[in-house]
Amino acid sequence: MPAGQPESQPARNNRDWMGDGYSFTSHGAILTRPPEPPAMNPNLLMPAVTLKAGDALLVIDVQRDFMPGGALGIQEGQLIIPPLNRVITAFLRQRLPVLYSRDWHPADHCSFQAQGGPWPPHCVQNSTGAAFDARLDLAPKPLIFSKGQHRAEDQYSAFLAEDEGGQPLSATLRRQGLRRLFVAGLATDYCVSNTALDLRRAGYGVIVLTDACRAVNLDPDDERLALRRMAGAGATLVATTDLGIYP
């Protein structure tokens, strides 16, 4: 979830421009027609995804401060919990890992307005608002990874978030031999997308559960653009209702 100044939109690479009126030669991209407004590719919505060894579910920042009425509430954030809990149950039933990330900020964190940052105080360590939402199902002995826990550390991605022993999520993924991450939580346009992109850069398969995410949408197009960036990086976008994981 937001832990610092919103990032400017990254420059598109060749992959991002595929299908936008550019062709490719040995000399680079050539505009062949004016680009049309981007649209979601229906082929990216792949039904009947099933679970297998090497899969894990990563639940991102489903904390009280990010729920409506919280310090940094996200509109309709509560609606992700029923589909997310169904997926959590399915993973636990198959004895596959369920991992949780959280914002875990000191009271004087650099992202807070009092320190010159853009956000109101949120998810302060050991505060009520930093707790996971009470409606969220937690695995027995949940593996929890904290990010943004140092005063000067501004951290969107959960990829290097740390467990209570200081080990990063990236190390846990390697140690457990995980190869594909199902990603859901808050918020699509910040921590979900940054985490998914880092996972793809590291070579992991990524499936984003679109109905179990919600966006901040400082700009109305932020969610759509975040989904497009993740899909362009090779992540699969799928609704939980299209997963072939339920009995």
Q: Let me know: does 156 contact 86? Beta carbons within 8 Å.
A: no
| Mean pLDDT value across the chain | 86
What is the Cα–Cα distance from 81 to 44, expressed in whole angstroms?
24
What is the Cα–Cα distance from 90 to 244, expressed in whole angstroms?
10
Q: Is residue 2 part of a domain?
A: no
Task: Tell me if the bond preceding 187 is cis, omega within 30° of 0.
Answer: yes
- Structurally, the chain folds into a number of domains equal to 1
Q: What is residue 42's predicted lDDT score, i.e. its pLDDT?
A: 45
What is the Cα–Cα distance from 224 to 231, expressed in whole angstroms?
11
Q: Is residue 33 part of a domain?
A: yes
Helix (H) or strand (E) holding 92: helix 81-93
Catalytic residue among 61, 65, 189, 222: 61
Instruction: Report which of 195, 186, 212 is spatially closest to residue 158, judged by C-alpha positions.
Output: 195
Q: Is residue 8 part of a domain?
A: no
Q: Is residue 3 part of a domain?
A: no
What is the Cα–Cα distance from 192 to 157, expressed in whole angstroms?
7
Instruction: Report which of 154, 147, 152 is spatially closest to residue 130, judged by C-alpha positions.
Output: 147
Q: What is residue 247's predicted lDDT score, i.e. its pLDDT?
A: 63
Q: Let me know: does 20 contact 35? Beta carbons within 8 Å.
A: yes
Q: Let me know: does 46 contact 77? Beta carbons within 8 Å.
A: no
User: Does pLDDT of 137 surpass 80?
Assistant: yes
| pTM for the model | 0.81
CATH code, domain carrying 231: 3.40.50.850
Stated length of the chain: 247
Domain region containing 184: 14-242
Please count the other Cβ atoms lying within 10 Å of the Cβ belonging to residue 174.
11
Helix (H, G, I), strand (E, B) or coil at 78: helix
User: Does pLDDT of 74 surpass 50?
Assistant: yes
Please count the other Cβ atoms lying within 10 Å of the Cβ belonging to residue 176.
13
Q: Could you report the per-residue pLDDT of 9-52, keeping only the tens digit for each?
A: 444 443 343 444 444 444 444 444 444 444 444 444 455 688 99
Instruction: Report which of 166, 237, 173, 238 is spatially closest to residue 202, judged by C-alpha positions.
Output: 173
Distance of CA 107 to the CA centre of its chain: 24
Catalytic residue among 55, 147, 198, 222: 147
Q: What is residue 245's predicted lDDT score, i.e. its pLDDT?
A: 79
Is residue 141 part of the annotated active site? The answer reads no
Confidence at 224, pLDDT banded by 50, 70, 90 = very high
Confidence at 242, pLDDT banded by 50, 70, 90 = confident
User: Does pLDDT of 6 surpass 60?
Assistant: no
Confidence at 134, pLDDT banded by 50, 70, 90 = very high
Q: Is residue 5 part of a domain?
A: no
Q: Is residue 9 part of a domain?
A: no
Q: Residue 30 pairs with which residues in a beta bridge?
A: 23
Residue 188 per-residue DSSP state? I
Catalytic residue among 65, 110, 133, 191: 191
Q: Let me know: does 118 contact 138? Beta carbons within 8 Å.
A: no
Is residue 191 part of the annotated active site? The answer reads yes
Q: Is residue 25 part of a domain?
A: yes
Q: Is residue 226 part of a domain?
A: yes
Which residues, at least 6 apart from 121, have a Cβ–Cβ distance to it below 8 Å?
71, 105, 107, 109, 112, 113, 114
